[in-house]
């Protein structure tokens, strides 16, 4: 079954913007990028008539969760995934992924494909495994660094592009495929092809799983 969504659509002659309420964490990257188009004080809060299609597309690309997407109506270019998959733990918040992404359950059912996703790390989301912003009212604290002991460079298959994310109830998420894992400060970075990442918020080796979910009784 695909992930639950609640999509609103905003259209001008040149571009159609879609907004998935379920995936917005109010990080406001869109608002900062183009306040004349994305204005939470106005209704509708997205007005594509107020900006050029290229500028709107650039602002949408900055949405870290994939809540925003667009379709060009002026034959302008569509969004293309970055050539490299990247994974970054956001301080006190979700794991941010960019690239050619596929989220699947352990039976192999694809729930979501996208160029941008935010995975919950705090264990409190009501829209698991995606972040829904609940970390802001939780006591989850994590600087978003990659532990030195965990930095290793894997040999990557040259032809693989996709980063596949799988998860099951009460367990960490498995990331499989070529990706660069980068600490929030950008200094600690490694290329790898497989990692088990914490979803319960209790690991002592974040962003990786250390088995704490069992003792924590994590069952989401």
93 belongs to the binding site for ligand FES (CB under 6 A): yes
SS (H, E, C) 15-80: EEEEEEHHHCCCCCHHHHHCCCCECCCCCCCECHHHCCHHHHHHHHHCCCCCCEEEEECCCCCCCC
**Measured distance CA(170)–CA(143) in Å, rounded:** 24
Q: Does 182 bind ligand FES (CB under 6 A)?
A: no
Among 28, 110, 136, 143, binds ligand SF4 (CB under 6 A): 28
- Residues that contact ligand SF4, how many (by CB under 6 A): 11
CB of 54 to ligand FES, least distance (A): 31
Q: How far is the CB of 45 from ligand SF4 (least distance, A)?
A: 9
Our CB check for ligand FES shows the closer of 17 and 175 to be 175
Closest CB to ligand FES among residues 57, 120: 120
Smallest distance from the beta carbon of 119 to ligand FES, in angstroms? 8
- What region, left, alpha or beta, does residue 187 occupy, with left being phi > 0 and alpha being psi -120 to 50 degrees? alpha
Work out the burial of residue 220: count CB atoms within 10 Å of its CB; fewer than 13 is exposed, 13-18 middle, 19 or more buried.
middle
CA distance 165 to 177: 9
* HSE toward the beta carbon, residue 101, CA cutoff 13 A: 24
Nearer to ligand SF4 among residue 20 and residue 182 (C-beta): 20
The verdict on 131 binding ligand SF4 (CB under 6 A) reads: no
124 part of the interface to ligand FES, by CB under 6 A: yes
φ, ψ dihedrals at 177, nearest 5°: 135, 170
Segment interacting with ligand FES (CB under 6 A) among 4-12, 16-24, 132-140, 162-170: 132-140
CA distances from 47 to 38, 59, 101, 133, 198 (A): 7, 13, 28, 24, 38
The binder of ligand SF4 chosen from 17, 57, 67, 181 (CB under 6 A): 67
Q: Count interface residues toward ligand FES (CB under 6 A).
A: 12
Q: Which residues make up the interface to ligand SF4 (CB under 6 A)? A: 24-30, 63, 65, 67-68
Q: Which residues make up the interface to ligand FES (CB under 6 A)? A: 93-94, 120-122, 124-125, 131-135
């Amino acid at each position: 079954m695909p992930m639950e969504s609640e999509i609103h659509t905003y259209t001008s002659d040149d571009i159609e913007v879609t907004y998935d309420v379920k995936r917005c964490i109010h990080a406001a990257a869109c608002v900062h990028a183009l306040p004349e188009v994305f204005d939470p004080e106005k209704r509708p809060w997205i007005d594509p008539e107020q900006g050029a299609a290229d500028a709107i597309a650039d602002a949408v690309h900055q949405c870290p969760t994939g809540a925003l997407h667009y379709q060009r109506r002026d034959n302008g270019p569509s969004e293309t995934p970055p050539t490299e998959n990247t994974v970054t733990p956001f301080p006190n918040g979700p794991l941010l992924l960019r690239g050619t992404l596929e989220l699947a359950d352990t039976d192999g059912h694809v729930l979501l494909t996208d160029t941008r996703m935010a995975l919950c790390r705090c264990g409190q989301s009501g829209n698991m495994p995606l972040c829904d912003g609940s970390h802001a009212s939780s006591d989850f604290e994590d600087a978003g660094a990659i532990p030195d002991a965990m930095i290793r460079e894997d040999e990557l298959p040259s032809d693989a592009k996709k980063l596949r994310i799988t998860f099951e109830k009460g367990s960490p998420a498995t990331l499989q495929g070529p990706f660069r894992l980068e600490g929030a400060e950008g200094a600690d970075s490694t290329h790898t092809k497989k990692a088990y990442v914490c979803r319960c918020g209790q690991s002592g080796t974040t962003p990786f799983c250390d088995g704490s979910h069992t003792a924590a009784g994590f069952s989401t």
